[in-house]
Amino acid sequence: MIVDSHTHILPPDVVSDMPKFMSRDKTLCNLFRNGSRVSTAETLLNSMNQNKIDYSIVMGMGWSDYSFNQYVNEYLIESQIKSGGRLVAITGITPQHGDIGIYEAERCIASGSHGFGEVHLSEQRMAGKPFDFLKPYMSMLLTEEFPLVVHSSEPVGHLYQGKGQTNPQELEKLVQFFPNNKMVLAHWGGGLLFYEMMKEMKELMGNVFYDTAATPLLYNYKIFNVALEIVGANKILSGSDYPLLKQKTIFEQINNSDVGSGEKLSMLGQVAARVFKINIK
């Protein structure tokens, strides 16, 4: 079983008229104003068929506009249903909008969402603030045993569109605030996983997982063996960051690595199936 744990799709009308929707949502504008790749559910499913991928996690991108977030959420859940569960919806949240944000999150869980994310603390102006405002959302996730997916940023290295400032220190604070919640820290947690070599950090990160999204743009191939030695295969989820990168890129990188067969099976799908509670057909 192969699961792509990190993909993004947008409704067809958004894809066909990006300028119109970029004027509505600041995050969409910041991430796509220079012409980054976009995809619909249909295009993603075609890619999955070509690359023999069984399931893909489809998620939001830390939208800033409440109505746009709701619109994309509806599309994610609709795509999950139409795909027969091959697309697994992780819906966006907008805690910055108070009660209506909470009502939308409740609606999504009731409609079949498997978690919340990809939260982008910088884009959503939540970085550096106390995390009390996330309590209603984390309570929902804890009850359902679903994860929160969080965009993560490296505190060093090159700048890129959408990098943000959600660095390991900020992520540590988030995990300290909600240690019992499952969290998937995207992009190898911005390097947070390296700090699991510290005893106190390893203990704190018991419910934390890391995805491999955008690996070829960030690290060389040695990251897989290094990460396996530090945190083990049971904490790593293979994710492409499609359509930013082609799905085959990350899966070829994993399959061509010298990682053991059992570890590959865990990374390629077994861990994701448990974390996201995928209804395997």
Q: Which pLDDT band holds residue 168 (cuts at 50, 70, 90)? A: very high
Q: Strand pairing partners for 209?
A: 184
How do beta strands 116-119 and 148-150 pair? parallel
pLDDT value of position 161: 60
The label of the residue with tokens 């690290």 reads: 219
Residues 6+ apart with CB under 8 A from 57: 3, 4, 5, 6, 7, 88, 90, 114, 149, 239, 272, 276
Domain count along the chain: 1
Is the confidence at residue 127, as pLDDT, over 80?
A: no
Rounded CA-CA distance 246/271 in Å is 21
Enclosing domain of residue 163:
3-275
Which residue's structure tokens are 């619909």? 40
Position 218 scores a pLDDT of 82
Query: For residue 255, what pLDDT is reported?
Result: 86
Residue 280 domain-assigned?
A: no
In tens, the pLDDT along 29-88 reads 999 988 889 999 999 999 999 999 999 999 999 999 999 999 999 999 999 999 999 999
pLDDT above 70 (res 165): no
Is 281 contained in some domain? no
Q: What does residue 195 show for φ and ψ, rounded to 5 degrees?
A: -80, -5
- The secondary structure of 84-97 as a DSSP string is TTSEEEEB---GGG
Sheet holding 148-150, edge to edge: 116-119, 148-150, 183-185, 208-211, 236-237
Phi, psi of 163 (to 5 degrees): -60, -50
Residue 21 has, within 13 A of its CA and on its CB side, a CA count of 21
Q: What is the dihedral of CA 23, 29, 34, 37, to 10 degrees?
A: -110
pLDDT at 38: 96
Q: Encoding tokens for residue 171?
A: 């992520």
| Identity of the residue numbered 28 | L
**For residue 176, what is the domain's CATH number?**
3.20.20.140
What is the model's pTM? 0.95
pLDDT at 163 over 60: no
User: What pLDDT score was predicted for residue 159?
Assistant: 65
195-208 pLDDT, tens per residue?
999 999 999 999 99
